[in-house]
Structure 1
C-alpha cells in the first residue's frame, strides 16, 4: 500500500545521514562486541548454576526485551516523534550496555542486558525509518545499503576491539557501549523528524498486513539460522584450532567486513533483481557457509565458512528493511520495522536455547549442519512459493 498523502521527501544532508548510519552501527555492536568474551565469562561464572546457558543468554537476552518492547516503541514514536525516541533509546543503550563494567553477578548482568534490549529496539526502528523519510524512494536502495555497510563496519571495529579488550578481561568489551554517548550528541544536533500524513489507523494497522507477516517470519528464520555463528563459533573455533578471544574476534570481524562490502554493493545487487531473489541468495549463502563451518577441521576452513555466511548477513538487513519499507505507507514504517525488529531478536534469544539440545546430542559441528539444512529449506521454499509474500517484489 502507498500513502499518497505523505509529505514529500528530499535527499538528506550528509551530517544527518552520518548520524543515522552511526546510530545503526550501535545495533550490531550490541551483540558482536561481547562475543569474544563469552569463554572468559563462562570461566569466571563457572560456579554459577547453569552458567553455560546463562552466559550465552548474556549475548542473546536483549532479544527477549526487544520482542516485548519494539512494537510498543513503534507506537510511541508515532506520537512522541522518532528523534525523541531514538535519543532516549541511545541513553538506555549506554546505561544497559555499560553496566557490564561494574555488575558482579549473572542475574544482574542479564538485567542490564534487558535494559540494553529496550534501547536496541528503539534504535533499530527509529534509525531506519528516518533514513527512508529523508530520502526519496529512488534513493532507498543506496541509503539502506549504506546502512548495512555501516553496520558491518561497526561489527568489524567492535569485534576487533572487543577481542583485544577480552584478552585483558572479560569485562573489557562492555566499555565499547559508551560509544553511544557521542552518537547521542550527533543525533540531537543533526536529525529531525519529517512529518508524515496518517489516514485513520494507518500507522498501526499497516504493519499487520497478512502478507507482511511472511516477511517477519523470514527474518526470524534468517536470524535463527545465522545466529549460531556468534553464539557457538567461539567455542567451535577453540575446539578445532585453539583460537583465543583475539583470534576469534578477528575471524568474526572478517564476517562483518564481508557484510560491509555487500552493503556498499547493495544498490548494484538490487538492480534488476527482486527482493525475493535476494532473499533466496542470502539463505543459500547461510546454508553453504554453515556446511563448510560444520565440517571444518582447521581454522582456515572454518574461516572460509564464516566468510560465506557473511555474504548472507550482508544481504539480510538491506533486503528485508527495503522490502518492508517498500510495502507499507510512510506513517506505518516505524511500526512495521518495530515488528521486524521483534522477529529478528526473538530469533536471537531462541537460538542458543534451540541449539543447546542439538549440541548435547550430536556436538557442535553437526549442529552447524542442522542450521545449514534449515537455511537450504527456506531458500527452496522461497524459490517455490515466495511469490506470495508481500509486494512489491520487483526491482526498483
Structure 2
C-alpha cells in the first residue's frame, strides 16, 4: 500500500528502497561505461571510430521506439513481472558481448540490450516509486532513486575507462550486476498493490493508448513532457557535448580533466536530488522545475562568461543544481498525473522523450559552432537565455508565484 501523505521522510531502513535504488543504478551502465571503450573496440575489430560508435547507436535506437510498448505491458501484466525479465535480458546480453568475435555480433547484442534496458529500466523503477509512495514521501524517494541514477552515470565513464584500459570487453562484464539485481528483485521486492488492478482497456494496444492519453490532463502533461525535453536537450547538448569541446579547444584540457569537470556537475545534481523530498514540503513539482531552469540559465551563461577552467567548473556546478531539481521533480509530476493502471506507459514515454533529447541536443550545439564557425561560447549563451525564457514560461503556466508552492495544482 502507498504511504500516507503525512509521511515525508526517506525510509532508509526499508529494503524496498535499496532494491529500487539498485534497479535504477544499473540503468546508466547503458552508454556511460561503454563510451571510453570505443577506441579500444575500434582497435580490437580494426574498424573506424565512426563504425565503433555504432555500438552506442545500436543501443539507443530500439529504446526510443520500444519504451512505451514495454511500459504498456508493464501496466498490463504488472511492473515487477516486466522489470525482472528486462534486467535479465539487459545483463545477459551485455555479458554475452565478451564472447563474440565480430562487430556485427556486438551490435546485435547491444540492440537487444537497448530494447529492454538503460532508460527503460530507469523509468520502470521510477514508476514503481509512484506505485509504492504518495505525497512528499514520493518526492523524497524519487529524489534518492534519481540520485542513484546520477551517481551511477557520473561514475560510469571513470569505471569504464579503467576497465577498457585492460581490455576492450572488460566493461561489458559489469552488466552481470543486472542479473544479480534481477534475482534480488524477484525474491525480495513485494508486488505493489496496483499490479492486481490491471488496466481499464480491453487488452488491445490501441485501446490502451487511447485510454492512457485520455487519462492525462492534456495541458499539464504537455508542460511536464516539454520541460523534460527542454531540460535534457540542454544537458545532452550543452553539458555533455558543447562544454567538453569548449574545454578542449579554449582551455586546452585533456579528456581526463574534462571528464572530471563534467562528473563534478553530475555529482552536484545527485546531491541536490537527494533533498527533493524536503524541497517538496514547500514547493510544487512545477515550482522546482521552474527554479531548475533558472539555474540552467545561470549555469550556461556562466560557462560562456567564465574566463578559466575553474570558472567553468563553478558554472557547471550551478547547472548541476538545476538538473538535480528537475530530474526527480518531472518524474514525480508525471507519476502524480498518471493513474496506476497507466503509470508504466506514461513513465516509459518519458524515456522516449529523453532519448529524443539525446538525439537532437548535440546537433543543436555542434552545428552552429562548426558550420557557422562561431565557437561553442555563443551557442551556450543562447541556450542560457533560452532556459531563462523557458523558466518564465513555466512561471506563467503555473499562474504566478502561488502556483509554485505546495497546495497549488501540480503539473
Coarse TM-score class (shorter-chain normalised): 0.7 to 0.9
How high is the TM-score relative to the length of structure 1? 0.83
| Deviation, structure 1 residue 144 | 0.6
**CA 1:198–1:188 in structure 2 vs 1: closer, same or farther (change >3 Å)?**
closer
Instruction: Decide which of 360, 370, 386 is 1:374's aligned counterpart.
Output: 386
- Corresponding residue number in structure 1 for 2:8: none
Pairwise CA distance, 1:140: 0.6
Q: Deviations over 1:115-144 (max 9, x none)?
A: 333222531232112222223434212111
Q: Report which of the two structures shows the higher radius of gyration computed on alpha carbons.
A: 2
Q: In 1, distance between residues paired with 2:246 and 2:48?
A: 22
Q: Which residue of 2 aligns with 1:248?
A: 258
Q: State whether residues 101 and 171 of structure 1, in contact with CA within 8 Å, keep that contact through their aligned partners in structure 2.
A: yes
Moved more, 345-354 or 32-41: 32-41
The one of the two structures with greater contact order (alpha-carbon pairs below 8 A, sep at least 6) is 1
Q: Which position in structure 2 is the counterpart of 1:324?
A: 334
CA distance in 2 between partners of 1:33 and 1:82 (Å):
27
Q: Is the 8 A contact 2:225 2:350 kept in 1?
A: yes
Partner of 2:190, secondary structure, is coil
Matched, 1:32 2:42: no
Unaligned runs of 5+ in 2: 5-10, 202-206
Say which of 307, 313, 332 aligns to 2:317.
307
Q: C-alpha distance in 2, partners of 1:239/1:174? A: 31
Shift, 1:376, TM fit: 2.1
Larger mean CA deviation between 363-372 and 109-118 belongs to 109-118
* 2:139 counterpart of 1:123: no
Is this contact kept in 2: 1:163–1:245, CA < 8 A?
no
Q: 2:228 matched to 1:219?
A: yes
Counterpart residue number, 1:76: 73
Deviation at 1:28, TM superposition (A): 3.0
8 Å contact from structure 2 (residues 199, 342) kept in 1: no
Indicate the residue corresponding to 1:137 in structure 2: 135
Residue 206 of structure 1 corresponds to: 212
Distance 1:115 1:292, change over 3 A: farther
Deviation at 1:152, TM superposition (A): 2.2
Q: Partners in 2 of 1:88 and 1:143 — Cα distance? A: 24
* Counterparts in 2 of 1:239 and 1:185: CA distance versus 1, 3 Å: farther
> Among 273, 284, 295, which residue is 2:294 paired with?
284
Aligned-residue CA RMSD (Å)? 3.5
Q: In structure 1, what is the Cα distance between the partners aligned to 2:246 and 2:46? A: 19
The corresponding residue for 1:181 is 179
1:242–1:286 Cα change, 3 Å: same
Q: State the shift of 1:56 in Å.
A: 6.5
1:220 to partner: Cα distance = 1.0
Distance 2:41 2:61 in 1: 21
- Report the Cα distance in structure 2 between the residues aligned to 1:241 and 1:170, rounded to whole angstroms: 30
CA contact under 8 A between 2:143 and 2:274: conserved in structure 1?
Answer: yes
Counterpart of 1:146 in structure 2 is 144
Residue 234 of structure 1 aligns with which residue?
Answer: 244
* 2:7 paired with 1:9: no
Q: In structure 2, how many angstroms separate the alpha carbons of the residues matched to 1:387 and 1:114? A: 44
Check whether the contact 1:61–1:117 (CA below 8 A) recurs between aligned residues.
yes
CA contact (8 A) 1:223 1:344 kept: yes
CA drift of 1:370 comes to 3.3
What CA distance in whole angstroms lies between the structure 1 residues aligned with 2:42 and 2:84?
33
Q: SS at the partner of 1:77?
A: helix
Q: Among residues 351, 354, 368, which one is paired with 1:341 in the alignment?
A: 351
Q: Distance in 2 between matches of 1:173 and 1:363?
A: 34
**Do 1:141 and 1:266's aligned partners in 2 also have CA atoms closer than 8 Å?**
yes
Are the equivalent residues in 2 in contact too, given 1:289–1:308 (CA < 8 A)?
yes
For 2:204, the equivalent position in structure 1 comes to: none
Aligned equivalents of 1:90 and 1:171: distance in 2? 20
Structure 1: 5+ residue stretches without partners: 1-7
- Residue of structure 2 equivalent to 1:5: none
Cα distance change, pair 56–301 in 1 and its aligned pair in 2 (3 A): farther
Q: Distance in 2 between matches of 1:364 and 1:44?
A: 33
Tell me the equivalent position of 1:23: 23
Q: How does 1:376-395 map to 2 (within 5 A)?
A: 376-387=388-399, 393-394=408-409
CA deviation after TM superposition for structure 1 residue 35, in Å: 4.7
Task: Please give the secondary structure, in 1, of the residue aligned with 2:193.
Answer: coil
